[in-house]
Amino acid sequence: MSGRLGIAALAGLPAAVARPAYDPARFGAGIVHIGLGAFHRAHQAVYTDAALAEAGGGWRIDGISLRSTEIADALNPQDGLYTLIERGEEGVSARVIGSIRKVIAAAHDRQAPLTALAAPETRIVSLTVTEKAYGIDRAEGTVDAAHPAIIADLADPRAAQGVLGLLAEGLRLRKERGLQPFTVLCCDNLPDNGHLVRTGLIDLARRLDPAFADWIGEHVAFPSTMVDRITPAPTDDTLAEAERQLGVRDLAAIETEPFSQWVIEDRFPTGRPEWERGGAIFVEDVAPYEAMKLRMLNGTHSMIAYAGYLSGHRYVRDVMADAALAKLVHRHLKAAAATLAPLEGIDTGDYAEALARRFANPAIAHETYQIAMDGTEKLPQRIAAPALHALQHGQDLRPFAFAVAAWMRYCLGRTDDGAGYALRDPREEAIGGALAGVGKDARGMVRALSALPGVFPVELARNERWDDFVANILSEMLAKGMMHAAKEEALSAGS
């Protein structure tokens, strides 16, 4: 068979391929999702697919891609359908997801995103745009007045193109037209993500029209969420696997692990899909779940990314097969767990074991280089926050210092063999500026990078014991190379 995935191809797919247990065309869209990357397609869109299959409703998703046109160009000709490939130890399975109705590429049509946000049927606007796209100064809870999208959207709010600017203009249009506001659902890996977006958005709105800011504060819900599913960027192998399973081509296929988790605060005044049908958990307060996931999964991931990449490991699973690094992974998980408040029904020891197994999944090729990007955006909540807690409570600081030293070493942009790589961090220039003239002096590097605003809390950065740990570990990394330094660290880590 040849051809391309789409509604017309569904009937001819092999029996082993699961497909929507509903006719997608029967349901309208109630969600606009900004940021249609692989993660959304492996996560929220899948929960929505399950909700549609079991409970129906006008809850399909209209996606918005703010920058690239690639996903729109791949998905629209396929009627929004794509393949979710799950790779577990037991094997590979394929499932066609039907919850996405269409994708709007802002680059193709500048007006279309606002039209979707202001459409009467839009009741939820959800987001996976990565930490850096919001333009929120997280320490202050205000907009970052130096962020390019914030500058542009404040100057010309009616033609907003950034995340917060679009939300504000979409809500303003709805208010003007007498439509109910939508619920804003942040699905990025940020602590207290609903609250964070709320404060940023209200601050932006206040700079435009204080009364409108008050209206948002009073009428718009921002439930927080914890999202989890390890989803590597799709590759040619992903597309080849989809074609092998389906017998037709799918240019939007993605691959992911079997595990998936979504914890959501149940505050949806304008309604919501029955995401619990897909396994989502609704709770009063997501914060403790988010802290656990950010500090244990994501924090350890970041350590794995920097120490692993510089040890020559391309994939997370290779890091887990390296005895010394695997030991440091377990050490980090334990130290991160110790910084958490107890959560009823959750044993962090079991959670750590499950995470280590997920990291080691031999079927998932998750690049350390992918996770290493945007370090300045990720480190504050993943590493610095638990490190500060550990400092204040007399707990083990060293694992966090190791992770930070590995990031600082990574900031040099060169492997131990001298090969260069791009940092891919929004503050790349500031990092380069901070390191200029410091050379490979560990103390100097620590001082320079610790002073980058907003990455490390002052109380941590100024602590002598912390500073000594980071500088000593970094100095070992610089002198002996990452692989060797990690081995020594693991030896001294005890059992």
Element (H, E) at 30: strand 29-34
Note the residues at the interface with ligand CS2 (CB under 6 A): 189, 228-230, 297-298, 301, 370-371, 378
Cβ proximity to ligand CS2: between 96 and 230 the closer is 230
Contact 486, 309 (CB under 8 A): no
- How far apart are the C-alpha atoms of 424 and 188, rounded to whole Å? 18
- How far apart are the C-alpha atoms of 348 and 339, rounded to whole Å? 11
∠ CA 251-253-254 to the nearest 5 degrees? 140
Amino acid identity, position 51: A
Cβ proximity to ligand CS2: between 128 and 475 the closer is 128
Task: Compute, in degrees rounded to 10, the torsion defined by CA atoms 436, 442, 444, 450.
Answer: 90
Rounded least distance, CB 378 to ligand CS2, Å: 6
Cβ proximity to ligand CS2: between 72 and 230 the closer is 230
Contact 216, 203 (CB under 8 A): no
∠ CA 260-264-266 to the nearest 5 degrees? 145
- How far apart are the C-alpha atoms of 170 and 119, rounded to whole Å? 9
Rounded least distance, CB 300 to ligand CS2, Å: 9
Contact 376, 431 (CB under 8 A): yes
**Sign for the pseudo-dihedral over CA of 229, 195, 169, 47:** positive
Amino acid identity, position 387: A
- How far apart are the C-alpha atoms of 111 and 109, rounded to whole Å? 6
C-beta nearest to ligand CS2: residue: 301
- For residue 239 the two structure tokens come to 């597309």
How many other C-beta atoms lie within 10 A of the C-beta of residue 95?
Answer: 17
Contact 200, 194 (CB under 8 A): no
Backbone angles phi, psi at 29, to 5 degrees: -100, 140
Q: Of 298, 452, 422, 436, give the one whose Cα is nearest residue 371.
A: 298
- How far apart are the C-alpha atoms of 465 and 461, rounded to whole Å? 10
Cβ proximity to ligand CS2: between 262 and 469 the closer is 262
